[in-house]
Amino acid sequence: MQNTNDFSFSSARGKIVRVLVILATVCLFAFIFGQSITKNAVYDNTSSSIIKRNEQSVTAKRKLTYASKYAVENDNIYVRIGGKPIGIAINAGGLIVIGESEVLTDGGTVYPARNSGIKVGDVIVSVNGNDINSIYQLKTVLDGVSNDAVSVKAIRDGAAFDTNILPATDRLTGQKKLGLMLKEDVGGVGTLTFVTQDGRFGALGHYIADNESGLSYELTYGNIYKTSIDDIVKGERGKAGGLVGDVNRLSTPIGKITMNTNIGLFGEYTADYDGELYRIAQKGEAKPGAAKVYTTIDGTEPKFYDIDIVKVVSQSDAEEKGMVIAVRDKELLEKTGGIVQGMSGSPIIQDGILVGAVTHVFVQDPTRGYAVHSRFMYDYATNSQSTAISCEYCEEAVA
């Protein structure tokens, strides 16, 4: 006869074995299911790659929606990468004085503005109470005046002042002139860094200043335009090279400049843009090592070129010299000599993350230069307040 205690022990042991089998089965299922989830969740740092990879899966799309929300809540911000060349035209809210000019009249050569107090760098904002934003507007106002002096309002160092100028009539054209060399804006070619998902842009990576007038922070508003790189002036030791492109101010702008800061131009991007989505690097993610610069040296389409991030400067305040970079791509070195004017703003990608943008070139070594941290540019792009900051390094800025 079987002992009761032996039976109880066997029954208990059988129950334990069954429980263990059930637990093992559950764990195996969980492992397999978990591997499936992990496989579906793998993605590059470009969010557009996630969308393409999972475009056939409704479940994956739902996970992407949640993942995107989670990313935003954890400061993982995605922007559409730039790399395309842009034409730039930025103004100071009036006509910029770049010099004095003579007027040849029937009575001889005269200098109407000589005793007016107007200096190079002043900005003329109105004549006889009429706002002046273009040469055409000025000519129209002067054509309508008699032979009396006109009142001129100008801005200097942020302060307005009034003066009077007696226009002189040019004997060749019959037009009345103030005897001043004037221009409407400051232009050039640079590179778009990114466009945010709500339509703000960042470009250039450094301040724009005007060598002819000496203006810098006064240059605040303007437009950016599509442009094409038609030629290259190769950089040499002691002489910066440049990308050559035309800025057609009569074409439709693709963006409105609202900020000219020490780390670039920012404003509203008004055209359609379909650049790939890349994540903005957080503090500490950029590191010395291999990276790529995304830039255009021919036509309108950018390409990736190999560079090294030589040094990363840990910064709490926005500065344009946050990294030292070195070009090592053979094609880029052969065609441009390294970093050249017009490449300012070119995005820098490391490990699939947007870590920065090109800002300056070392004049004595065009293969090397500086870059700004992308997180600072993103902060400025999303800031609606214009920030006036002096341009300490404008002479060596590369665009």
Q: What are the pLDDT tens digits along the chain (399 aa)?
A: 334 333 343 444 555 546 455 555 545 444 444 433 333 322 222 222 222 222 222 222 222 232 333 333 346 899 999 999 999 999 999 999 999 999 999 999 999 999 999 999 999 999 999 999 999 999 999 999 988 999 999 999 999 999 999 999 999 999 999 999 999 999 899 999 999 999 999 999 998 999 999 998 889 889 999 999 999 999 999 998 999 998 898 899 999 999 999 999 999 999 999 999 999 999 999 999 999 999 999 999 999 999 999 999 999 888 889 999 999 999 999 999 999 999 999 999 999 999 999 999 999 999 999 999 999 999 999 984 444 333 333 333 443
Domain ranges across the chain = 14-73, 78-91+186-396, 95-183
pLDDT of residue 75: 66
Q: Per CATH, the architecture of 95-183 is what?
A: Roll (2.30)
Q: Which CATH fold would you assign to the domain 78-91+186-396?
A: Thrombin, subunit H (2.40.10)
143-150: long-range pairs with CB below 8 Å, 24+: 143/175, 143/176, 145/176, 150/178
Provide the residue type at 222 as one letter: G
Q: Are strands 242-244 and 231-233 parallel, antiparallel or unpaired?
A: antiparallel
Please report which helix (H) or strand (E) contains residue 374, including its range: helix 374-381
CA gap 177, 170 in Å, rounded = 7
Shortest CA distance to 372 belongs to which of 259, 205, 207, 208?
205
Confidence (pTM): 0.75
Look at strands 168-169 and 176-177 and give their pairing.
Answer: antiparallel
Spacing of C-alpha 13 from chain mean position: 71
* Cα–Cα distance list, 78 to 47, 197, 309, 367 (Å): 7, 8, 22, 30
Residue 111, SS3? coil
The neighbour count for residue 69, using CB atoms within 10 Å, is: 10
- Judge contact between 43 and 53, C-beta under 8 A: yes
- Please compute Rg for the chain using Cα positions: 31
Of all helices (H) and strands (E), which one includes residue 370?
A: strand 365-373
User: Element (H or E) spanning 50, and its range?
Assistant: helix 47-53
pLDDT of residue 13: 52
- pLDDT in the model for residue 320: 86
- Spell out the residues 6+ positions from residue 26 whose beta carbon is closer than 8 angstroms to its own: none
CA 348 to chain centre: 12
